[in-house]
């Protein structure tokens, strides 16, 4: 409606329109009404973010995209004694509990799918259900921090992250280490007849590797972010133009493999949980080519230069460590 007529519909209007859609598409009657209303709520929120907060225009869901989820806000039940959950329109379903549900009021549940098929539209993936509870507790207040308890982090390609303390965290490059296996499986998929059982088997093996890479990446980032949050009161990071950086085709693959945005996201929400602070500096700050000792700013510093000497104070800098120190200084407004 907005794209054609520039008319905005409220969440109330969208929910009323569901009655019309159910007559046009009878299969919608098979779906839980709460899940449909939640979809309207999500759409309304997406447009609110677009109009008021500068987010991108909401995108339509793609048929070939198996990354999907839906929420059930009410009329469900959980019985942990038998590891079963009652879902509207589905009935009781057996689940494998990964952890105990925290004490509190159960607010909503989300069912999502981790795909094991990116080519086939057949839903051969794993399904996950998450429980959102309200324990009534507020997030802790932000803890005070000093220059000594603040670290700067410079993320990179050669090393995953460099700290202002001088520590470097190696980039495990999970995708690069699995490329040969992926290429082999991709060739097998391309040789199979479309729609055949053998092709579905080949696709399944291929996507299992992708799933493993994703799990390895998340596990690595969780461990690193947990350690950094526990050891420091505040963390300073740089806002990165990842989309622009990916235009360099030589680095696009390793940038995607590093998943910097996902890492910063983990740092952010984990810091909120324990009252720590995340400071972000602008994406155009010359952190790499500014001397952290005297403040001299180089005109140019190509990516292949990993170490440079300041023409003014003659100090030699490791590119990444220098950037991490400057990120820390800029974040607290103490640049020289």
Task: Judge whether 221 lies within some domain.
Answer: yes
Same domain, yes or no: 220 and 263: yes
The rounded distance, in Å, linking the Cα atoms of 100 and 86 is: 17
Which of 97-111, 125-139, 234-248 comes out lowest in average pLDDT?
97-111
Task: Judge whether 34 lies within some domain.
Answer: no
Same domain, yes or no: 326 and 257: yes
Which of 7-16, 61-70, 143-152, 325-334 comes out lowest in average pLDDT?
61-70
Taking CA 229 as the corner, what is the angle to CA 233 and CA 139, rounded to the nearest 5 degrees? 75
b vs e for 265-301, b when ≥16 Cβ sit within 10 Å of the residue's Cβ? ebbbebbeeeebbbbebeeebebbbbbbeeeeeeeee
Q: pLDDT at position 219, please?
A: 96
Q: What is the pLDDT of residues 7-16, one digit of tens each?
A: 777 889 888 9
Q: pLDDT at position 121, please?
A: 32
Contact 96, 83 (CB under 8 A): yes
Task: Judge whether 305 lies within some domain.
Answer: yes
Q: What are phi and psi of 97, to 5 degrees?
A: -80, 120
Which of 38-47, 72-81, 312-321 is modeled with the greatest confidence? 312-321
Q: Which residue has the higher pLDDT, 43 or 53?
A: 43
**pLDDT greater than 70 at residue 117:** no
Q: What is the pLDDT of residues 174-191, one digit of tens each?
A: 999 999 999 999 999 999
Q: Which residue has the higher pLDDT, 220 or 300?
A: 220
Task: Judge whether 301 lies within some domain.
Answer: yes
Taking CA 155 as the corner, what is the angle to CA 302 and CA 310, rounded to the nearest 5 degrees? 40
> Region 271-276: what's the mean pLDDT?
96
Q: pLDDT at position 64, please?
A: 58
pTM listed for this prediction = 0.79
Task: Judge whether 321 lies within some domain.
Answer: yes
Q: What is the pLDDT of residues 140-156, one digit of tens each?
A: 999 999 999 999 999 99
Nearest to 168 by CA among 323, 333, 301: 323
Task: Judge whether 72 lies within some domain.
Answer: yes
Q: pLDDT at position 98, please?
A: 78
**pLDDT greater than 60 at residue 246:** yes
Same domain, yes or no: 180 and 77: no
**pLDDT greater than 60 at residue 120:** no
Q: How many domains does the chain have?
A: 2
DSSP track, 287-325: -SSB-TTT--B-S---TT--EEE-TTT--EEEHHHHHHH
Q: What percent of the chain has pLDDT over 70?
A: 89
Domain span at 131: 64-137
Same domain, yes or no: 95 and 229: no
Task: Judge whether 284 lies within some domain.
Answer: yes
**pLDDT greater than 80 at residue 104:** no
**pLDDT greater than 90 at residue 241:** no
Same domain, yes or no: 277 and 243: yes
Q: pLDDT at position 303, please?
A: 84
Same domain, yes or no: 104 and 80: yes
Q: What percent of the chain has pLDDT over 90?
A: 47
Active site residues: 154, 238, 320
Q: pLDDT at position 118, please?
A: 26
* Token pair listed for 72: 């059930």
Task: Categorize the per-residue pLDDT at 35 as very low, low, confident or very high, splitting at 50, 70 and 90.
Answer: confident
Same domain, yes or no: 119 and 237: no
């Amino acid at each position: 409606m907005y794209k054609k007529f520039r008319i905005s519909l409220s969440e109330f209007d969208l929910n009323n329109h569901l009655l019309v859609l159910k007559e046009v598409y009878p299969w919608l009657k098979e779906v839980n009404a709460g899940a449909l209303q939640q979809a309207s709520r999500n759409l309304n929120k997406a447009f609110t973010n677009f109009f008021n907060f500068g987010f991108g225009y909401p995108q339509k869901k793609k048929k070939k995209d198996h990354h999907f989820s839906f929420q059930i806000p009410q009329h469900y039940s959980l019985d942990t004694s038998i590891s079963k959950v009652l879902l509207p329109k589905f009935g009781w379903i057996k689940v494998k509990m990964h952890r105990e549900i925290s004490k509190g009021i159960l607010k909503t549940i989300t069912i999502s799918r981790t795909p094991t098929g990116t080519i086939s539209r057949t839903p051969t993936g794993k399904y996950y259900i998450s429980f959102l509870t309200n324990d009534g507790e507020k997030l802790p207040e932000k803890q005070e921090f000093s220059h000594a308890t603040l670290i700067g982090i410079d993320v990179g390609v050669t090393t995953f992250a460099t700290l202002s303390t001088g520590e470097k965290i190696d980039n495990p490059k999970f995708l690069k280490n699995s490329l040969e296996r992926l290429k082999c499986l991709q060739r097998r998929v391309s040789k199979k007849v479309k729609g055949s059982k053998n092709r579905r088997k080949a696709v399944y093996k291929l996507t299992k590797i992708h799933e493993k890479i994703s799990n390895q990446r998340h596990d690595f980032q969780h461990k690193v972010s947990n350690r950094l949050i526990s050891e420091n009161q505040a963390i300073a990071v740089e806002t990165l133009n990842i989309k622009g950086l990916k235009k360099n085709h030589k680095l696009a693959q390793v940038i995607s493999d590093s998943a910097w945005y996902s890492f910063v996201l983990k740092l952010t929400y984990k810091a909120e949980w324990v009252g720590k602070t995340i400071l972000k500096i602008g994406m155009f700050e010359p952190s790499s080519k500014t001397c952290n000792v005297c403040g001299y700013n180089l005109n140019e510093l190509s990516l292949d230069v990993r170490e440079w000497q300041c023409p003014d104070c003659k100090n030699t800098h490791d590119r990444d460590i220098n950037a991490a120190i400057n990120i820390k200084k800029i974040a607290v407004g103490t640049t020289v």
